[in-house]
Amino acid sequence: MTSAPAPAPLVLGIESSCDETGVALVRGSALLGHAVASSVEEHVRFGGVVPEIASRAHLEALLPTLRRACEEAGATLADVDAVAVTAGPGLAGALLVGVAAAKALALGLDVPLLGVNHLVAHVAVDVLVSGALPERSVALLVSGGHTELLDVSSPAGQGVGALRVELLGQTLDDAAGEAFDKVARLLGLPYPGGPHVQRAAEGGDPAAYAFPRGLTAAHDLRRHPYDFSFSGLKTAVARQVEAHRRAGGEVDGAFVADVAASFSEAVADVLARKTVTAALDRGVGTVLLGGGVAANARVRGLLAERCEAAGLELRVPPLRLCTDNGAMVAALGALALADGLGPSPLDLATDPGLPVSTVVV
Ligand code: KG4
Ligand code: ZN
């Protein structure tokens, strides 16, 4: 008689690199429990994430969020077989809260600790949706804190130990989400700006203003084929708003709609253009999209259109898994554990600038 194979280990994932406190429980590629607390409301009056406020909010939210995730999974801490946590990149103080909690849990429960890379976790979350990572892919990560284009290679059956992640390009100034937030402010819309800009853009003409597409001129493409720059675009919007005011116009109605639509078009165009070029240059068949800006209908729509035209498969996880969360951390932790990686030392240091090539610290 053969006995049933042992179930995959239950991995607890903790995320605290920016303004979302995320905790989740994952077994293999199954997401069992998932809770997120966001401090976004506390940053509204400052128009952007204030690191000190974010750190304090993580401290307050961590245990209640942990409790919610366990309840949803129908599990107790005694069931946890390993603790994975974001070790970087991210805000220094915010990272410390999650890592300190993860160390205490790993020590108290006598289970392995895995300090993982936040950006790679955004890619690994696809395991919870698709069951396995594509063998080769280009990932576009766009949020309020980061904008990266990654080349990901994950040879089938070789585990996360064979996972190679290469940074192809990143923003030289503002992150894509940050650009949405700053443009929202110029248009008199609340923080976080992305959803408001999207709503305003709905009735607007995307061709009303020919806003610049950063780093797409021939000479820029030679030096920065896969890098992004959104500060010129933001300045162009500011100039348009200024000129409109000088001419006696109000910043409202059709003007806001046209600027929002033209701005969104410029962001979506650059993101889609560089991502598709990278995938074709690298001979990769799959594109992964992650980060809060994946919520943007025009970004998703244009990327989908251009991927289809280029014969590329586009994978976009459900939105709750695109924004920062504990499930992506647990998913990467589970892959690492299955592959015999780690454990990380209990004196694991946080690294706000952790390079994307380091999957597990
Ligand atoms: O991944 P995320 O939730 O977390 C952090 O970066 O902390 O991303 C938040 C960012 C914000 O900048 C927000 O304005 C942007 O994602 N965002 C959007 C949309 N929804 C959220 N940007 C454009 N369109 C949206 N619908
Ligand atoms: Zn993120």
- Report the relative pairing of strands 20-27 and 10-15 from DSSP bridges: antiparallel
Comparing C-alpha atoms, which of 65, 3, 6 is closest to residue 33?
A: 65
- Residue 181 Cα: closest atom of ligand 1: 14
Q: What is the pLDDT of residues 235-288, one digit of tens each?
A: 999 999 999 999 999 999 999 999 999 999 999 999 999 999 999 999 999 999
Its pTM stands at: 0.95
pLDDT at position 4 is: 78
Helix (H, G, I), strand (E, B) or coil at 105: helix
Ligand 1 centroid to Cα of residue 231, in Å, is: 17
Is residue 148 lining ligand 1, measured as CB closer than 6 Å? no
The arithmetic mean of pLDDT across residues 120-133, rounded, is 95
Is residue 19 lining ligand 1, measured as CB closer than 6 Å? yes
Ligand 2 centroid to Cα of residue 224, in Å, is: 23
Is residue 295 lining ligand 1, measured as CB closer than 6 Å? yes
Q: In the chain, where does DSSP find H-type helix?
A: 40-43, 51-73, 92-109, 118-124, 126-130, 176-186, 193-201, 218-223, 231-246, 253-281, 297-309, 319-322, 326-338
Helix (H, G, I), strand (E, B) or coil at 110: coil
Is residue 154 lining ligand 1, measured as CB closer than 6 Å? no
Is residue 170 lining ligand 1, measured as CB closer than 6 Å? no
The two structure tokens encoding residue 30? 């199954």
The two structure tokens encoding residue 320? 């709750």
Edge-to-edge strand ranges of the sheet holding 10-15:
30-38, 20-27, 10-15, 82-88, 113-117
Ligand nearest to the CA of 300: 1
Is residue 265 lining ligand 1, measured as CB closer than 6 Å? no
Is residue 286 lining ligand 1, measured as CB closer than 6 Å? no
Ligand nearest to the CA of 323: 1
Ligand 1 centroid to Cα of residue 316, in Å, is: 15
CB 241 within 8 A of CB 188: no
Q: Give the confidence band of 2 by pLDDT, cuts at 50, 70, 90.
A: low
- Residue 184 Cα: closest atom of ligand 1: 14
Ligand 2 centroid to Cα of residue 146, in Å, is: 7
- C-alpha 39/C-alpha 276 separation (Å) is 34
Comparing C-alpha atoms, which of 37, 96, 42, 87 is closest to residue 67?
A: 37
Backbone angles phi, psi at 145, to 5 degrees: -105, -20
Ligand 2 centroid to Cα of residue 79, in Å, is: 28
Q: Is the pLDDT of residue 162 over 90?
A: no
pLDDT at position 155 is: 84
Query: What count of other Cβ atoms lies within 10 Å of the Cβ of residue 238?
Result: 14
The count of C-alpha atoms lying within 13 angstroms of the C-alpha of 49, restricted to the half-sphere facing its C-beta, is 23
Ligand 2 centroid to Cα of residue 210, in Å, is: 30
Is residue 277 lining ligand 1, measured as CB closer than 6 Å? no
Comparing C-alpha atoms, which of 168, 140, 183 is closest to residue 270?
A: 140
Arithmetic mean of pLDDT over the chain: 96
pLDDT at position 277 is: 98
The most distant pair of C-alpha atoms in the chain lies apart, rounded to whole Å, by: 85
- Residue 176 Cα: closest atom of ligand 1: 12
- Residue 40 Cα: closest atom of ligand 1: 7
Ligand 2 centroid to Cα of residue 251, in Å, is: 32
Q: Is the pLDDT of residue 147 over 80?
A: yes
Ramachandran region of residue 188, left (φ > 0), alpha (ψ -120 to 50) or beta?
A: left
CA of 42: how far to CAs of 37, 46, 57, 133, 178, in Å? Answer: 12, 8, 9, 36, 17
Q: What is the pLDDT of residues 291-349, one digit of tens each?
A: 999 999 999 999 999 999 999 999 999 999 999 999 999 999 999 999 889 899 999 99
The arithmetic mean of pLDDT across residues 122-149, rounded, is 95
Ligand 2 centroid to Cα of residue 100, in Å, is: 19
